[in-house]
Amino acid sequence: MRIRVHIALASLCLLATGWKVRAQTADPPQPTPQNQQKDQNPDEITAVPNRPTFASTAEMVSLGVFEIEYGFEAADRHHNINGLLKWGVVKNLELWFLNNPIEHDAGTAGLGDSGAGFKYKLFPQLKARPTVAILYVATLPTARPELGAGDMAHLAQVLVSKDFGKNHFDVNEGVQFVGRPQLGGFDRRYFTALSYSRPLKGKWGYTGEIAGYSWQNSATPASMVLLNAATYNLKPRLVLDGGAYFAVYGNLPRVTFFAGVTYSIADLYHLHAAHHSAKN
């Protein structure tokens, strides 16, 4: 409950920052899944980033599209490379595979944990109704215990996304069950996040977020972070990001810097159809 109260209060500051940014720019919006330019080719693939926030958007990649998100983090005694692979296997369903190929914490380095799951959109945005989706991710303990969870973990979230003009909001609420290697059973912690984004001048955009986990156990207390980032839509299918998040409390580095990329590689179904037609 404490973390939800803090997030509710701090979100007022986030909204105030967003409206200040809005007042400083009057440029037309850039292509995004929520707000595309009128002259954009409707057949052109558009990236749907979950980066750079901890929150995940309720919006989906298009049917058949295979998309990757990769980035790195750098902080005091902490570095990693993190990735997410997404595929729109059927309408309203994304399959996810997550991996941290490099993890470095407190002088120990190696392979990080991996994960697999799915996102399913319950219904799209219509007028006053937001887009709503559910997300499930199982963490696979591929890292050494000192670098990862040390056991299986299960995350379930409700994702809500809504556009207000050029302003886009994502709200996540969820619960994670984290295995206890020596004791058996699971610890439980809750996740809450509110993120805000909007286009700025040209191809630039701004993203801000407040997010955190509740208390899990004596070794993993509650945590909360504030995130600020810039995004750059190099192409509709290619989005770059960079910024930092700041630990308000919890066992986290005071400041963590990050940068990453989201790239929609191809519509695999169209590629298969084109290849089949060429053979015939």
List per-residue pLDDT tens for the chain, 280 residues long: 444 444 544 444 444 444 333 333 333 333 344 444 444 565 689 999 999 999 999 999 999 999 999 999 999 989 999 999 999 999 999 999 999 999 998 888 999 999 999 999 999 999 899 999 999 999 999 998 888 888 899 999 999 999 999 999 999 999 999 998 877 889 999 999 999 999 999 999 999 999 999 999 988 999 999 999 999 999 999 999 999 999 999 999 999 999 999 999 999 998 766 655 666 5
Structure tokens at 112: 């990080």
Residues 139 and 189: their CA atoms lie apart, in Å, by 14
Query: What CATH class has 2-279?
Result: mainly beta
User: Can you give the residue ranges of every domain in the chain?
Assistant: 2-279
172-206: b (≥16 Cβ within 10 Å) or e: bebebebbeeeeeeebebbbbbbbbbbbbeebebb
* Residue 21 confidence (pLDDT): 36
* Residue 37 confidence (pLDDT): 45
Q: Name the pTM for this structure.
A: 0.83
* Residue 16 confidence (pLDDT): 40
Largest CA distance in the chain: 64
